[in-house]
Homo-oligomer: A and B are copies of this chain.
Amino acid sequence: MKIAILGYGTVGRGVDRIVKGLDDIEVTRILELPDRCEGPRMTSDYTKIVDDPQIEAVLECMGGLEPAHTFIMQALQAGKSVVTSNKAVVAAYFDEFARTADEHGASLLIEATCGGGIPWIASIEKVRRIDEVSCLSGIMNGTTNFIVDAMIKNGADFAETLARAQELGYAEADPSADIDGIDVKNKTRIAVGVAFDTACVEDIPVTGIRTITKADLDLFAAHGRTVKLLGRAVQWEGRYAASVEPVALPSRSLEANVPSNFNIVSLEGATVGPLKFYGQGAGSLPTGNAMVQDVIDLAAGRRPKYDFSRGLAYDPALLAGDYVLRTAMPMPQGAEPYDQGAWLVRDIDPVAARALFDDALAADPTSFMAHVPQED
């Protein structure tokens, strides 16, 4: 199978390196900016790819919304299958891409958008052949897991640890997509689409870890808990909910023990029970591996269909639970003391929790909040 790569950055190079070791796949074209084009495969003219009848699949690893969105649409409309690692563009246009692929006999393959090298999307689809997925959750961002893990292990504070993550290449110069939860939001919305056959609403509650302190981690550790940034989603009787927020998990849970920049993702199926998948959630070779696995699936005839006509209703009450808020703001209504400067607010949904956190941030910009699930 002849394929083209859009964008020869970290992921594109990973794909190219992995494909060189395989017999049946060949990268015949690579789209790059004019001043980066080297050698006969590279071009800055997308028509050389989208109009080439020999190219069966386009591997989009540019990132960002445009021109990725336009290029993906043009490829699908030309009947070429698209394999992408771009969570932002898929989260924003999943429904449009899926419909366009279907209309033009092309396929959309998105394993690399969530969980890097972890076979997460394909595993959800496999489970769905037999079971409904009742819930999913996970540590889907390696940067924030690295930061929290390093803060705990080194006793360091947030700013210092973020700077170290940036030095190591685990965090971007502008870290907001990671630390404010936008990246996890994109991945959670995509996973909801695959697991629940529903185009997830854009406006789910999202809270990151920007204000977490070493003292917060120590406080939760004293309660036998470890904080992780989790994307979560659940469906029940025609409704669904999704959220992204710090969660103070029991310290003996699997999630609490995920080290460094690794990811773990979980689902629950009616007959298979709970399944968890762990691995490298980012990086040139793991993410490249996920894209090449999608190409091999495509060559083997796998044609995922995403159909969002089910129309589940969004209801954040499905994710209602307890929250701990550390703030200098006066005690919120209905709250009870949790520990030094922190309040426990019971049984609120994540939208109400986010509104409460906004009030706290307005009064004390250093406030921190985490969901505190009940222990099993």
Contact = CB atoms under 8 A, between A and B. Distances in A.
A162 to B, nearest CB: 23
A36 interface: no
Contacts of A34: none
B130 A22 contact: yes
A340 interface: no
Interface stretch (A60-68, A287-295, A309-317, A348-356): A287-295
A262 to B, nearest CB: 8
Given A117-B273, A123-B119, A254-B254, A131 B278 contact: no
Contact of A277 (B269, B273, B277): B277
B274 A279 contact: yes
Interface in A294-347: 296, 301
B272 A117 contact: yes
Contact of A126 (B119, B256, B278): B119
| A interface, over-half SS | mixed
Nearest to A131: B289
Contacts of A290: 272
A276 interface: yes
B285 A271 contact: yes
Given A254-B258, A257-B257, A273 B278 contact: no
Contact of A275 (B18, B129, B274, B279): B279
A79 interface: no
Interface in A231-287: 252-254, 256-259, 269, 271-280, 283, 285-286
A110 interface: no
A130 B278 contact: no
A293 B130 contact: yes
A272 B279 contact: yes
Contacts of A274: 278-280
Contacts of A280: 272-274
A243 B254 CA distance: 25
Interface string A16-44: 01100110000000000000000000000
Contacts of A14: 271
A131 B285 CA distance: 11
A90 interface: no
A192 interface: no
A118 interface: yes
Nearest to A280: B273
A296 B117 contact: no
Contacts of A293: 126, 129-130
Interface of A: 14, 17-18, 21-22, 117-119, 123, 126, 129-131, 252-254, 256-259, 269, 271-280, 283, 285-286, 288-290, 292-293, 296, 301
Given A117-B275, A272-B279, 7 more contacts: A14-B271, A17-B271, A119-B123, A130-B292, A252-B259, A272-B280, A277-B278
